[in-house]
Structure 1
Amino acid sequence: MQPQTLMLMLFGTYALDRDVSLGAGGLIEVLGRAGVSTHATRSTLSRMAARDLLRRHPVGRKMYFGLTERSTAILHDGRAHIWRDGAVNDRWDGTWTLLSFSLPESMQRERHDLRSRLAWEGFGPVQGGLWIAPGDVEAHRIVAELGLTAHTRVFRRARTDESTDVTAMIADAYDLPELAGRYEAFLDRWEQARMPVDPLAARLALIGEWLEAIRHDPRLPVEHLPADWPAARAQKVFRDREAAFREPAQAIADGLLDRLSSSDLPQSG
């Protein structure tokens, strides 16, 4: 796990929506338990502050770090992916979001950016410039942010004709072996795991690795996936391990993390 990912998992677990900042000393100790050196942790904190992911709060000789609006939004999105959406789409309403685009050869960079963003948001290419995603996706927001609204057409709540083989379409539009491989790698790492020596470090790694496994998953309808699709099994392993690690990890975090509420921070000006 990258130090920044571990740091975000730490703040998402022990600071998000709690109106607190965390002391640098405790952050260094916690990441040290996960194998991150003091120097790497300090560098990570500096970089995250420079990228508007953390906000510095000097208090006497101590330095505290709090979440910014940007990092709060990122962590809320991650929380929704993990706990609200989940990895198994067994309530699909049969609709698709369709996006077609046509860009001139002179806009190759823009085409690459659009394809990358569509893949990130769960779209897969059907043919040519036509991409699909299950359910109702805010595709207009994607193209607007890229400045490509004039070059695209978006259709929401579309349905396939009965003559269309949806299972075959999904297999053509998405790299199913690659998606399944993410879950299988997670299972290899965690399915046989027992209570670790350090449940705090293990819990941060567990949540980070699970989020990495699901964040690129377009949540394809389960009825059109292979019978041995590993997402449901992996999700059960994640939730079982997270529940087992939660209380012992919390006890360690309470002893290491120096929390300061926003009301106790020095007021600027």
Structure 2
Amino acid sequence: MSAVLDDMDSRPGSTTSLLRTVIGLYLRDAGGWMSAKDIVALMDALGTSGTVTRTALGRLRKKEVVLQETRDGVPGFTLTDGAATMLARGDRRIYNPRSMSLSDPWCLISFSIPETEREKRHQLRRRLHWIGCGTVAAGLWICPDTLRTEVEEILIDLALRDMSTIFVTETPLVGGSLREAAAKWWDLEAVAGLHKDFIREHGAQGHDAVVPEPSGSAVEASPEAFSTYVQCIDRWRIIPYLDPGLPSAFLPEDWPGAEGTALFSRLVAAFAEPSAEFVRSTLSGGVRVS
């Protein structure tokens, strides 16, 4: 699991990140396997050469995201079990961004890890950060209680469950304001920056005018529609992980999260099906992507 989770470090817009996004969007619905030739063709629509794509596939193999598998003499790739689990979780996160109310419960994670296990301690902090947890103190982290199952999985995976205690609590009582506390526990400026970058990069494409009408799509299937959608998902996919979806009482008044989420929803409505149709027309043998 750890190697797969490290793929979160892929810089949005990089070849490895875009390839991971293409695989996450379309390989499962293409029967769980896709030929190397088809992957190269799809990445070509994103402006990436075959040589660069094959190098990126090698990186994803090392990260245990994909496995090389030949079917009927045709070389191709399938997902590892760990990657399939991660992508299913990512689907829920990407298409259903979190949004807490003030009355929702919180999860507190307390741990004391000896210096002999400092590498595991580093991995724990890294992975708690990647799922949207905040740091109250070095050994005390906080997140919405909806993340408790993922926290448990991380602790068990790192064999640190017996060195930690989880508390479920109501809204924490802080000395100052909740906004001041949240700004210390999470790097909200960085998360806001991700939302603003997404809005700046995709705002024109997400205008209401391009949202499909009920009678049909306003966007035709094309390499451009595919490229727009893949780049949208690639840029967006880390935001729902790092953004804990805090109640408004915890957030700055000018928080851009609602605008970013609304824009993402419009883009999905406009480009998801045209992009999938382009993929269907590209895959060899008429493999269907739903």
1:49 deviates by 3.8
State the superposition RMSD in angstroms.
2.7
For the residue of structure 1 that corresponds to 2:237, the secondary structure is helix
State the match for 1:150 in structure 2: 162
Conserved 8 A contact 1:21-1:260: no
1:80 deviates by 0.5
1:107 deviates by 4.2
2:81 matches 1:55: no
Conserved 8 A contact 1:125-1:174: yes
TM-score (norm 1): 0.83
2:38 matches 1:12: no
Once residues 157 and 259 of structure 1 are traced to their aligned partners in structure 2, the CA distance between those partners, rounded to angstroms, is 54
For the residue of structure 2 that corresponds to 1:179, the secondary structure is helix
State the match for 1:172 in structure 2: 184
2:127 matches 1:117: yes
Once residues 80 and 95 of structure 2 are traced to their aligned partners in structure 1, the CA distance between those partners, rounded to angstroms, is 22
Once residues 237 and 26 of structure 1 are traced to their aligned partners in structure 2, the CA distance between those partners, rounded to angstroms, is 30
2:125 matches 1:99: no
TM-score (norm 2): 0.78
Q: What are the ranges of 5 or more consecutive residues in structure 2 without an aligned counterpart? A: 1-12, 207-218
Conserved 8 A contact 1:89-1:222: no
Once residues 68 and 112 of structure 1 are traced to their aligned partners in structure 2, the CA distance between those partners, rounded to angstroms, is 25
For the residue of structure 1 that corresponds to 2:28, the secondary structure is coil
Q: What are the ranges of 5 or more consecutive residues in structure 1 without an aligned counterpart? A: 262-269
Once residues 124 and 118 of structure 1 are traced to their aligned partners in structure 2, the CA distance between those partners, rounded to angstroms, is 8
Q: What is the number of equivalent residue pairs in this alignment? A: 259
Q: After TM superposition, list the pairs within 5 Å mapping 1:1-269 onto structure 2.
A: 1-84=13-96, 86=97, 88-91=98-101, 93-136=103-146, 137-138=148-149, 139-161=151-173, 165-193=177-205, 198-258=224-284
Q: Which has the higher contact order (CA 8 A, sep 6+)?
A: 1
* 4+ long deviations beyond 6 Å: 194-197
- Structure 1 residues 110 and 253: CA distance shift in structure 2, 3 A: closer
The letter for the 2-side match of 1:190 is H
Which digits, 9 at most, give the CA deviation of each residue in 1:54-102, with x for residues without a partner?
2333245532322332221121111111113x1x514454321112223
